[in-house]
Amino acid sequence: VLHSQISSIEKQATTATGCPLLIRCKNFQIIQLVIPQERDCHDVYISLIRLARPVKYEELYCFSFNPKLDKEEREQGWKLVNLHEEYNRMGIPNNYWQISDVNRDYGVCDSYPTEVYVPKSATAHIIVGSSKFRSRRRFPALSYYCKDNNASICRSSQPLSGFSARCLEDEQMLQAIRKANPGSDFIYVVDTRPKLNAMANRAAGKGYENEDNYSNIKFQFIGIENIHVMRNSLQKMLEVCELKSPSMSDFLWGLENSGWLKHIKAIMDAGIFIAKAVAEEGVSVLVHCSDGWDRTAQVCSVASLLLDPYYRTMKGFMVLIEKDWVSFGHKFNHRYGNLDGDPKEISPVIDQFIECVWQLMEQFPCAFEFNERFLIHIQHHIYSCQFGNFLCNSQKERRELKIQERTYSLWAHMWKNRADYLNPLYRSDHSQTQGTLRPQMAPCNFLYKFWSGMYNRFEKGLHPRQSVTDYLMAVKEETQQLEEELEVLGEKLANLQKSQLTDNKVKSKQQDGSKRLGLSTSNNNLANTPQEYSNDLKSFPSRSPSQGDEEDSALILTQDNLKSSDPDLSANSDQESGVEDLSCRSPSGGGCLPSEDSGKDSDEAVFLAV
């Protein structure tokens, strides 16, 4: 367990066996260490606290992580995702949009990237003027452009309008955005905050756009709560997860009380609204919250995902995160606690976005090129600091620290292992994958499920013992191999038939390169153990040897890092089909996937980890 994953450590009451330390991790793993001597326990506690709260960037793992790649490979890894290419793919620059270098030295906005995309009619003067009227100088800039109808999604922070302030350049900026879409005579301005919060901001000289001042805008509040509410919501939900043997009531009440799914739905609804405005109405949207780096990022990326199937591919998703989160200055350091900082800045913002994606995957199983594991591993690495992608609070800080020269890119690592992350049901030509995704907006409360794959990730007993994804991937691979084999044999046959006339000599037996996978999903490895269904049986001597200790499962940190939740199933197919061996390399070499989750071997107790 990486120190960076440690969220909190609790010293629990001493028991007969020793002094327990409860370690809660940011990836939702919970570990209990029982240390015999109180003195040692205290030392460990103090040390872990210090290690989990690094003060300098250099303390982070990414600066010492060594996957044994050369400089060239490291560089190539960072080049895998290229935003310039991405905007080109969207069709920019064009008649309406251009790239601007006004922020080339971060002189206009230090949390924005050096390359921003703005309407053609937005001069540098307008941009600079607008930036002075926006919180943190985060002026309206392009997030997504829909070339089919010229509608766009732009993002910014809140205007410094107070009760009555105006800014000509800012108004011109919004007009420029409108003009960049000749198909519509107005734009939506979406404030993702609850109305009350936005109004309260006015007293502090900030606020929101007045429809009277900005010509041709339709203003809309969406009502997503702030980072503090979200932090508390997650906290409450995790408390529910920690309940011992909760009843259905306890669970449902607790989940509702946390408000978590309500918030997820709010983010999703905002994304749906924006996607609809762009795809169906052909109207451009300007999105902001307070500072334009949390809710704005969530909502813009959800909308983009709904609109454009490219973002539902593996590569596209990486690009999406680079675009709306990394380049636009989401404060990774503050939000996810890379370094020790203000606990009030911590909030599961990107976690919520990742969950929105999962919820969509559940509703549209064929629409995404990647699978649940992809999302879980990304979340894991946002906190792991093993790679440099999610460090610092802005592009400016990352460049100052020379992140790309001193660390490695997660995307390159995941790309190399992409076979693990594929969704076997995805087909780019499938109707579900093409065009805009249209989730039902109402009624649809029930469509939001509790993501036990993430929040109970390490509790083996909770998950289906058999991974359908891995099985189907293995089937797909085998079919492909058999088809290739068939082709080869077909050619051989043709050749033989030809040469049969002249020469009956049989060619040397072709080496059977492609081994059969012998897909058997059944048997020994699916043995699982019963949960604790009843206390009454304890008085009878249990004859089952496999009813392991509950304590054991808490200490088991799956070291194998095999890709699947049913290791034996895919392990066989991996070795036989020649897919890269995914087992963990030596610690110094790093290169491990995060410790894998559910459904390990038969003899372990199924019951929950602590």
Partner 1 sequence: MLRSSQPLTGPNRKRCREDEKLLGTVLDEGERGFIIDTRSAQAAKQARMTGGGTEPKSSYPQWRRLHRPLERGRPLQESFIKLVEACNDTSINMDRWLSRLESCRWLSHVKAALSTACLAAQCMDREEASVLVHGTEGTDTTLLVTALAQVILDPSCRTLVGFQGLLEREWIEAGHPFHLRCARSAYSHARLKQEAPLFLLFLDCVWQLSRQFPFSLEFSERLLLTLFDNAYASAYGTFLCNNEKERCLCKVKEKTHSLWAWLNQPGEKKKYLNPLYSHNALVIWPSVEPQSIQLWQGLFFRWIRSSQYLDEAWAEIQRLVEGN
Catalytic positions: 289
Q: Quick one: 108 or 268, whose CB is closer to partner 1?
A: 268
Residue 504 Cβ vs partner 1, minimum distance, rounded to whole Å: 35
Residue 483 Cβ vs partner 1, minimum distance, rounded to whole Å: 9
Residue 475 Cβ vs partner 1, minimum distance, rounded to whole Å: 5
Q: Which two tokens stand for residue 307?
A: 């609109």
Annotated binding site: 226-227, 289-295
The answer to whether 524 and 602 are in contact (CB under 8 A) is yes
Q: Quick one: 247 or 502, whose CB is closer to partner 1?
A: 247
The total of other beta-carbon atoms located within 10 Å of residue 562's CB is 24
Cα distances from 177 to residues 208, 283, 284, 312, in angstroms, run: 17, 11, 8, 27
Q: Which residues are CB-neighbours of 411 under 8 A, at least 6 positions away?
A: 77, 80, 81, 318, 322, 389
Residue 277 Cβ vs partner 1, minimum distance, rounded to whole Å: 22
Residue 604 Cβ vs partner 1, minimum distance, rounded to whole Å: 13
Report the helix count and the strand count for the chain, using DSSP H and E: 21, 10
Residue 45 Cβ vs partner 1, minimum distance, rounded to whole Å: 30
Q: Quick one: 265 or 323, whose CB is closer to partner 1?
A: 265
Say how far apart CA 64 and CA 335 lie, in whole Å. 23
Using alpha carbons, select from 315, 318, 316 the residue that is nearest to residue 326: 318
The answer to whether 255 and 238 are in contact (CB under 8 A) is no
Q: Quick one: 337 or 453, whose CB is closer to partner 1?
A: 453
Q: Which residues are CB-neighbours of 256 under 8 A, at least 6 positions away?
A: none
Residue 450 Cβ vs partner 1, minimum distance, rounded to whole Å: 6
Annotated binding site for substrate: 226-227, 289-295
Q: Quick one: 83 or 366, whose CB is closer to partner 1?
A: 366
Report the DSSP pairing between strands 19-25 and 6-11: antiparallel
Angle between helices 227-241 and 260-276 (to 10 degrees): 130
Cα distances from 331 to residues 288, 338, 477, in angstroms, run: 16, 10, 40
Residue 294 Cβ vs partner 1, minimum distance, rounded to whole Å: 20
The answer to whether 25 and 336 are in contact (CB under 8 A) is no
Q: Which residues are CB-neighbours of 309 under 8 A, at least 6 positions away?
A: 316, 367, 428, 433, 434, 435
Q: Is 374 helix (H, G, I), strand (E, B) or coil?
A: helix
The total of other beta-carbon atoms located within 10 Å of residue 441's CB is 12
Which H helix or E strand runs over 171?
helix 168-179
Following CA atoms 311, 316, 319, 320 in sequence, which dihedral angle do they give, to the nearest 10 degrees?
A: 10
Say how far apart CA 555 and CA 30 lie, in whole Å. 9
DSSP per-residue string spanning 104-128: TTS-S-TTS-S-EEEETT--HHHHH
Beta strands in 89-176 (DSSP E): 97-100, 116-119, 141-145, 152-156
